[in-house]
Structure 1
């Protein structure tokens, strides 16, 4: 008899509490028998909580509605409502209606600047000694990345620019898996490359850059993924590295 082996979608659904009882028990049995996978799933849970806490402004007392599972469920409901509102809008299109809808989308974009999660992931994890893989050559990092992102762009050798690969860490977003790739120069300064599936607000991003709290993010979309290179604000190597990474 074939042993049950949960897919990544099963594991994410397990984290979100979206599995039926039989499926949940099967996943729990698998995790109990595979402590390495269980530790990775627990890491996803903690990463999601840390990212959500870092993105929550202003800081507030613990609130059940800020729990990652509740937030994901709320986002799904909001997405469904947006589709319903869009349908109603098409049926009741009138003078001034289009302008109001555009204003609403502009407000959402202003409240959620592009690749904010990349900046927060860099702050939280780029300097952390805990990574899912420690590497010394760019080829190792590429092989690790290809496990989750089959169409990811090739990672160039950054040693001519003074940076060597340190490691990578899997993260979780509302769209699924994300990856943080960390590089370091001879003085210990680090930059990170972050990628994930496109979000609802940013299905495809034009090349751009912005500054936030001492960091600078250069972001773009390519081959179905959103990317961001995060470096220290004002570091002239950021532009060179961005070009090397097809920014």
Structure 2
């Protein structure tokens, strides 16, 4: 549906929370929002992989100035890891590199592996990531079959919950720091258990004080009247109150 294109000054500043659909990039969502809201001044707070769904915060107009502040806050994810297979991307979209038999792990053994990655620790980022090496994103090097050393990065997990065990699958939730790779978390837990693992599903449900309660679907973002999208935005004043500023 075509919309008249008002001056950018008519677009309110704030955060629009979108529930990202699978099989699209975070940039795809930004592109849709630019058309729907009638402004180019939009960014997002924290990339979600195409496979992942869930909370994607779009900062609009003057809210782009607090993008780094919002991105620095803790996140909560719900995911599924599949034991017995490691992949080139550490998730189900990669090529299988190695397969191993999955022993009949007890809940205690699986919990012990998760518990090894709580508190402060370090992660080696995956090659298929947006981190740059000499100005080039690692995923571009990975596409060429290149692998480079990635320095470990400090991260932390404040809480995890094992929600379902039906081997080879394990459903979990995790509260973690910014810059945390849930793909790598699944990979490392699989390594700890000795049989390998990859991330097979992922959904972000919280970022800082933002949850999916305020989220609109991608379909709504595409089709709703512009004024309705403006009303769905979280204003800068409300964000200050949420953050206790």
Instruction: State the TM-score, normalizing by the size of structure 2.
Output: 0.25
Q: Which has the higher strand share?
A: 2
State the structure with bigger RCO (CA 8 A, min sep 6), 1 or 2. Answer: 2
Q: Which has the higher helix share?
A: 1
Instruction: State the TM-score, normalizing by the size of structure 1.
Output: 0.25
